[in-house]
Structure 1
């Protein structure tokens, strides 16, 4: 069978699958023990990262206890946030003020609902995180919030069923987030990995912790100070894996506000590295580009 025949076969299989309207859940309910070839993950010709050595690094875990009561503690946390955002682009937060009961209910809520209650807590945490990130940049603590980075909040619940052949597929292919900031709640199963120093590093679930990562738009407006890095989710024999991702951005349709490198961060030695763009235009470009192994940020580089 030639390459054209193979592509036609895969396309026909995909169309047939879509027409069932049953989705992956339908396959799981049917008790399949083989991953259909439609979902086989082909080796990424752009991905040269090593899967070895991923036990030697652990992303930072930041304890937010008493952050508003002790100025010296807040200063220490800001320094940690700064380092994590400039190097990893990822960190976890604990003692963030969201009750464990809400976190557990939210994971269960992917199968039911608790979204409004959770959204209130996440918005409060997000504003605090933007304050810390602003301070880490040497700016007024309200700078990123006043720019509108927390105007919109979107939540996506992920339900990854147990996979009979995890070596053949992926939970989610590698990508970076096209927002300002992402806050992720994951359960105990794991599978999330971040690309760090050309290695895929496991983000081991920690009870009560939330994973925070820098998005493309925050890298753009900080002129590369903070890093939006690629991450992925492995398939797993164990499941279902539950996670809830909350994306901070400006999701107002028709918003014409332009975002470019923050002027206060620029200098003769640090000129702007990106063109200005609206959030809607950036999102549209990301959708049109798809997951092709390249960063959407490259399109906006000067």
Structure 2
């Protein structure tokens, strides 16, 4: 538990083990909030009147940015606020209540940790993380924290809602790409994982990061980021700060969806900077394939003009390679590219 950055109270300076090499430090972390990242309105009447337009907007945003914000998505404001509340409350619990979930074993189902490989990595990142599977809910909820007392109820209800939205977005993507309806159902979207990220105040945000530059591995990520900025997206060599919008979700494309779309959609690189004054807590939901599923470019999206860009692989093998490659600074999709 002493390895959790949130357990180190009243830090006046950044510990040496959290100071990044000069070439990858964020330096100036005051980035203007970006209002060019697409915002997609899923309002009921709006969607019913112009579903084709929304589908086009969704695909275009996924091609150009790999990121977009989602408003009028149908999840109640009260539930979103409750989720952030219990997430914050978890990290305020006494050490004894959190200790049973702390583990450095990535195979542990419900796991609290600060870095993916705390022992081996050369530098740590300014984030504590609680991660657990959440689909099917009845198979996992009993392993989640019992404190705060509302955690299981609130996060359980929320996980169902964001899964519904994720599958709806994937269905729109099917239509936009010209794939058969339901292409992403079953094993391609069988797994859902929830991550609670907590970034305590940092004495000097110019020296460290909450999360380094990376792209997500799965199909789709839905992030509830609250009202404190920190998320940044890399676009055309520049970092863009994602402006927190009221009751909005941030959605981004994962590597698997880029591969299935045969490169038409992009998994954007992003990172998290820290804040010198306030803590920031976010909640992410990942839609992932089952470990034994085969991942390949959709046949309907490959032809003589658009040859298959990536070789077929088993998802669990990709996960192992992703961890190794990212830790060594190798682009995760590089080994899967086909030569033409």
Q: Normalising to structure 1: TM-score of the pair?
A: 0.85
**2:175 is matched with which residue?**
135
**2:109 is matched with which residue?**
none
**2:319 is matched with which residue?**
283
Query: CA 1:56–1:192 in structure 2 vs 1: closer, same or farther (change >3 Å)?
Result: closer
RMSD of aligned Cα (Å): 2.2
The aligned runs of 1:166-181 (5 Å cut-off) are 166-181=205-220
The aligned runs of 1:95-134 (5 Å cut-off) are 95-110=72-87, 111=90, 112=148, 113=151, 114-134=154-174
The aligned runs of 1:35-74 (5 Å cut-off) are 35-44=14-23, 58-66=36-44, 70=48, 72-74=49-51
The aligned runs of 1:126-205 (5 Å cut-off) are 126-146=166-186, 148-205=187-244
Kindly indicate whether residue 306 of structure 2 is the aligned counterpart of residue 270 of structure 1: yes
Query: CA 1:164–1:118 in structure 2 vs 1: closer, same or farther (change >3 Å)?
Result: same
CA distance in 1, matches of 2:78, 2:31: 35
Check whether the contact 2:259–2:297 (CA below 8 A) recurs between aligned residues: yes
**1:33 is matched with which residue?**
12
For 1:143, what is the secondary structure of its paired residue?
Answer: coil
Q: CA deviation at 1:150?
A: 2.1
CA distance in 1, matches of 2:61, 2:300: 21
User: Unaligned 5+ residue runs, structure 1?
Assistant: 1-19
Query: CA 1:54–1:277 in structure 2 vs 1: closer, same or farther (change >3 Å)?
Result: farther
Query: CA 1:225–1:283 in structure 2 vs 1: closer, same or farther (change >3 Å)?
Result: same
For 2:7, what is the secondary structure of its paired residue?
Answer: helix
Q: CA deviation at 1:293?
A: 3.8
Check whether the contact 1:51–1:199 (CA below 8 A) recurs between aligned residues: no
For 2:305, what is the secondary structure of its paired residue?
Answer: coil
User: Unaligned 5+ residue runs, structure 2?
Assistant: 91-147
Q: Normalising to structure 2: TM-score of the pair?
A: 0.76
Query: CA 1:53–1:98 in structure 2 vs 1: closer, same or farther (change >3 Å)?
Result: closer
